[in-house]
Amino acid sequence: MRLVRSTCYNHVGCSGATKPEFLDSRFVSMLCKNYERFNKSKAKDSYVFPKGLVDCTIKCCSSGNASTRFYLPLYVAKKHWIGLCVDFTVAKIYVLDCNPAVCASELTRELLPISDMFPYMLKFYGLLEVPGNNPLCQERVKGVAQNNNSTEAALTVALLIQTNPFYQYIFLLIKIRHKFAQH
């Protein structure tokens, strides 16, 4: 993920909240391990996150500033790698999956730690600017290149995570151009 992060930062001119952050699989693993305790806590806003998880989050967030988009890999049901784009501006988790048939049934359960716990943790440590506690819903990105070879799925996911921020900005520029064309 460090290579993906550096490549993206060198080619996408963005900073602050528009700068995407890239988290690694170690972060996702730690988040999932602590989810059950978080889920049982009554006051989620004041939950004290484990030091290891906090350190991993702050280390992965390169700028130390608040951001609204986070990219991370997820190993679903110990069978298949997928990429995730967690976009807090629209309260969605975009699923970048090169073989959707493999883990469709397990996906919702595997995304619970990210959709429930991740926003609270980022807000608590000042790494998220978006106000409110909107629940995150999931959406599969359509038109993703298919790769049925499960051993190559991890590499495919890294490439999907790397290219998605570029296309986010291209689509934004197209929308802006379309708005100006209407006036």
**Residue 50 is part of a domain; what is its CATH number?**
3.30.310.130
Domain that holds residue 47: 2-182
CA dihedral defined by 79, 138, 163, 118, rounded to 10 degrees? -80
Q: Give how many domains the chain has, as a whole number.
A: 1
Specify whether the CB–CB gap between 31 and 113 falls below 8 A.
yes
**Adjacent-strand bridge partners of 82:** 74
Contact at 8 Å (CB) between 122 and 128?
Answer: yes
CA distance 26 to 88: 21
pTM: 0.77
Around Cβ 6, how many Cβ atoms within 10 Å? 12
| 5 pLDDT above the threshold of 80 | no
Residue 65 is given by DSSP the state S
* Model confidence pLDDT, tens digit, residues 57-91: 777 665 555 677 888 888 888 888 888 988 888 88
Tokens 């290891």, residue located: 52
